[in-house]
């Protein structure tokens, strides 16, 4: 290899084997291959296929199910982290983290829509669709994909585009990471950096029913320049909180006009901020890195100035196409209140992330991402601190399962980038009507099911 191969006896192994979620710190892969180029990937896949060694593919290591590590060889692409702008496109290495993608492109006055978590790798995000704060304006990350290079299970390096390996290109825009091969680079369409304004509105918990109901009606009618989420949070001793935050592509005056219908229906917030922000700083704020530099907005293992910490959490997701009926909305609020009472030392949240806008303008069969009619993606999550690896705290899994069951009758699926090991009929939930085509493509490109994990797409 041109890159590094880290084995269990190496001093770097402990950190090299880690994922972002500390729940999976007990994973012990046989090796971690930090591939420096496509040839390294080809050699690693050839070795694993020859000797029957299981594979796991890792970019940022944020798989909610821990699927980017396994007992065999981890094929890591973080060393392939580069951003190069050529005309209307950017060539991006598959290991590029979002904080570096945004900062590098912004220095040239350009951007690509993506997620908010700064340490997420571009590969996992794009291959599963890629929702984010610019999605209603510019579409999913996958919608902006022009081509990609992938090493297939038989170790061929192929370029996929609308005119070459078209089926594999289609599957790579929403079919999920680690299913069909190892992507080594992407080519994305780029957009001029827009003027942006940020906003945060908070209400006392007593207003939560009105706020949640108003937000769901409002976001469906909001301009495509506006992205928002509605957060229902358990805050321990501080009590539960409801707030609405977001990003607006435009000036502060137009943002005030866009927010007015929400405030009229939900009532006056107890806290309000709405104002313009420089685009690079806005992306750091959305990344949870307000007050930090780009170099600090990473984990210590990712750079000497890294000031972020890894996390320990469990989560579920649902896709909703319409506002929840009153009984279901009441169940969400009751769940947050119950969590607050039963586990005040843990962090519990239900967050509605807006879809629509440019995302909805793409037909559901045009890419592998099927959730085009979604009003919002609902994420339910619990986070906690612990000194050592271990199972989720008592009651956490039950709380998530019950809330998921309460909302399931109103859901049309689940988001494949919030992969959920507890989900029944996960393949239909993630891919819907696109699943049969994905299975046929899997059979064609990976008939031996080399890329296999608990929720990988099965060959037809």
Show the domains of the chain with their CATH numbers.
4-76 (3.30.43.10), 83-193 (3.30.465.10), 196-286+302-432 (3.40.462.20)
Burial of 257 (0-12, 13-18, 19+ CB in 10 A): exposed
pLDDT on residue 235 = 83
Q: What whole-number distance in Å separates Cα of residue 173 and Cα of residue 369? A: 6
For residue 322, the tally of other CB atoms under 10 A from its CB is: 13
Q: Tokens 């592998």 belong to which residue? A: 368
Cβ within 8 Å of residue 292, ≥6 positions away? 284, 307
Give Cα 314 to chain centroid, integer Å: 14
Residue 150 has what pLDDT?
Answer: 98
pLDDT-flagged residues of the chain (< 50): none
Sign of CA dihedral 435, 358, 186, 41: negative
What local confidence, expressed as pLDDT, does residue 389 receive? 53
In degrees rounded to 5, what are phi and psi of residue 284?
Answer: -70, -40
| Residue 30 DSSP label | S
Report d(CA 365, CA 212) in Å as an integer. 31
- Please give the helix or strand (H or E) that residue 377 lies within, else none: strand 376-383
**Kind of pairing between the strands at 182-189 and 89-93:** antiparallel
Q: Which long-range contacts (CB under 8 A, 24 or more apart) does 333-341 make?
A: 333/208, 333/209, 333/212, 333/232, 335/399, 335/402, 335/403, 335/406, 336/208, 336/232, 336/233, 336/234, 336/240, 337/205, 337/240, 338/399, 339/234, 339/382, 339/399, 340/234, 340/235, 340/236, 340/239, 340/240
Query: How do strand 73-76 and strand 145-151 relate by DSSP bridges?
Result: unpaired
Q: What is the pTM of this model?
A: 0.97
User: How far, in Å, CA of 291 to CA of 298, rounded?
Assistant: 13
Smallest Cα–Cα separation from 128: which of 41, 62, 54, 81? 62
């Amino acid at each position: 290899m041109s890159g590094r191969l880290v084995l269990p006896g190496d001093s770097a192994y402990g950190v090299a084997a880690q994922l972002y979620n500390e729940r999976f710190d007990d994973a012990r892969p046989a090796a971690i291959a930090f591939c420096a180029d496509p040839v390294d990937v080809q050699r690693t896949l050839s070795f694993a296929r020859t000797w029957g060694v299981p594979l796991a593919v890792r970019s940022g290591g944020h798989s909610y199910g821990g699927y980017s590590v396994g007992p065999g060889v981890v094929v890591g692409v973080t060393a392939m982290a580069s951003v190069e702008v050529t005309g209307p496109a950017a060539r991006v290495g598959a290991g590029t983290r979002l904080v570096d993608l945004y900062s590098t492109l912004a220095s040239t006055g350009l951007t690509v829509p993506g997620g908010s978590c700064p340490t997420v790798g571009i590969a996992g995000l794009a291959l599963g669709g890629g929702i984010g704060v610019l999605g209603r304006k510019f579409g999913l990350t996958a919608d902006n994909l022009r081509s990609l290079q992938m090493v297939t299970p038989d170790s061929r390096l192929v370029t996929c585009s609308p005119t070459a390996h078209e089926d594999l290109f289609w599957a790579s825009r929403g079919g999920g990471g680690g299913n069909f091969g190892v992507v080594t680079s992407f080519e994305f369409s780029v957009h001029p950096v827009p003027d942006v304004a940020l906003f945060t509105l908070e209400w006392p918990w007593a207003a939560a029913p009105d706020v949640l109901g108003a937000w769901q009606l409002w976001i469906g009618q909001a301009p495509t320049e506006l992205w928002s989420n509605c957060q229902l949070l358990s805050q321990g001793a501080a009590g539960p909180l409801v707030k609405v935050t977001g990003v607006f592509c435009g000036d502060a005056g137009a943002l005030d006009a866009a927010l007015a219908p929400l405030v009229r229906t939900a009532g006056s917030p107890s806290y309000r901020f709405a104002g313009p922000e420089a685009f690079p700083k806005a992306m750091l704020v959305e990344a949870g890195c307000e007050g930090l530099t780009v170099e600090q907005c990473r984990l210590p293992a990712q750079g000497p100035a890294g000031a972020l910490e890894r996390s320990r959490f469990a989560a579920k997701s649902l896709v909703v196409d319409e506002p929840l009926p009153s009984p279901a909305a009441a169940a969400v609020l009751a769940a947050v209140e119950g969590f607050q009472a039963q586990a005040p030392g843990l962090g519990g949240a239900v967050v509605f992330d807006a879809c629509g806008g440019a995302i909805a303008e793409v037909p559901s069969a045009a890419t592998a991402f099927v959730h085009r009619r979604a009003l919002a993606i609902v994420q339910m999550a619990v986070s906690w601190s612990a000194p050592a690896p271990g199972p989720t705290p008592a009651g956490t899994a039950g709380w998530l399962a019950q809330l998921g069951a309460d909302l399931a009758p109103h859901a049309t699926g689940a988001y494949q980038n919030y992969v959920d090991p507890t989900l029944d009929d996960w393949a239909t939930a993630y891919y819907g009507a696109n699943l049969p085509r994905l299975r046929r493509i899997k059979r064609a490109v990976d008939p031996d099911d080399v890329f296999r994990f608990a929720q990988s797409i099965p060959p037809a």
